[in-house]
Amino acid sequence: MNDKLALPVGTTLDRFIMRKQEDFPYATGELSQLLRDIALAAKIVNREINRAGLLDVTGAYGNQNIQGEDQQKLDVIANIRFIRALRNGGEVCAIISEEEENIIQTGNIKGKYVVAMDPLDGSSNIDVNVSIGTIFSVYRRTSDTGNEGTLEDCLQNGTRQVAAGYVIYGSSTMLVYTTGHGVNGFTYDPSLGEFFLSHPNIVTPRTGTVYSCNEGCVNSFPEGVKNYLAYCKESSYSARYIGSLVADFHRNLLKGGIYIYPSTAKSPNGKLRLMYECNSLAFIVEQAGGKATNGSQRIMELEPKELHERCPLIIGSTDMVDKVEEFLKAEVTV
């Protein structure tokens, strides 16, 4: 990483975005503005989450989303907030969201970008005060401006992402993102209403001793995954599974580790969604030196067919992901 791009910790997100834009002479500012719009929505959602216990916004909303999952009130609130921020920001022509069956047209027909997002992942944990998160990907539209966003604009493989990130609403709220030039983390100071650069140039450890997986489903896991989990136990690794992807991913990104959600009897294609969970975190982990596969293919090279399609996810420290693939290959060759 060119050290002139390294900015002192304490830099605000806005300052960081502006400085990074200066390093790309042809940048015209739209992506920078889009990232600011996401940060604004994150601040608003953060406030709603922090007040959730005091307002009647915890618990189920009473509807199910396209995934057939009970929408939590904060799912709906977060979805509205991010859509509104992106619509008002003007840079995004269309959005796909975990909470919406169809493409959301923003009306910004000149917008050059589309966003895929999970507005609030892990929201079933809200009522018990466990960390939750927002996950997003940004793509440049492939269709001509002047029209609505198209399905082709939204169904691009992960290698075509121009930015990806997540917000973790935890003991502190952080925004972590990449535009393909490394990964940087910003911690929110609610007293100032600003995100400050706190984790510059995040590099994930090449290996680790933490594995994140819901072993309650182990009986229906592929044999190779079962064998890898046995290997973890023989190696005295630590099991850490929060039930909130962003929280597990963030810890593993910083400390080293692996998150595994394979195909199961209940979720034959895995549970996590390719477009706004797997691709987004895959871009980040690869930029930080890690790896993300579905067990045999690089996540970012999977060609999406549907907006909400799912895929198995094995993501984290490169050596650990490679080890899982080794066990899966051994399963196939047996």
Which residues lie near ligand P6P (CB under 6 A)?
121-122, 214, 243-245, 271-272
Q: How far is the CB of 271 from ligand P6P (least distance, A)?
A: 6
Side chain identity, residue 222 = P
CB of 313 to ligand P6P, least distance (A): 9
Q: Which residue, 181 or 240, has its beta carbon nearer to ligand P6P?
A: 240
Is residue 84 classed as helix, strand or coil in its secondary structure? helix
| Least CB distance to ligand P6P at residue 126 (A) | 11
Smallest gap from Cβ 226 to ligand P6P, in A, equals: 16
CB 199 within 8 A of CB 11: no
Question: CA angle 69-266-134, nearest 5°?
Answer: 40
Compute the least distance from the CB of residue 317 to ligand P6P, in Å: 17
Strand extents, DSSP E, 13-105: 60-64, 70-72, 92-97, 104-105
| Residue 90 or 243 having the CB closest to ligand P6P | 243
Our CB check for ligand P6P shows the closer of 153 and 277 to be 277
Judged by beta carbon, residue 141 or residue 310, the one nearer ligand P6P is: 310
Q: Where are the beta strands (DSSP E) in the chain?
A: 60-64, 70-72, 92-97, 104-105, 113-121, 132-140, 161-169, 173-178, 183-189, 194-199, 210-212, 238-239, 258-261, 291-293, 313-316
- The smaller minimum CB distance to ligand P6P, of residues 313 and 328, is found at 313
End-to-end CA distance of the chain: 43
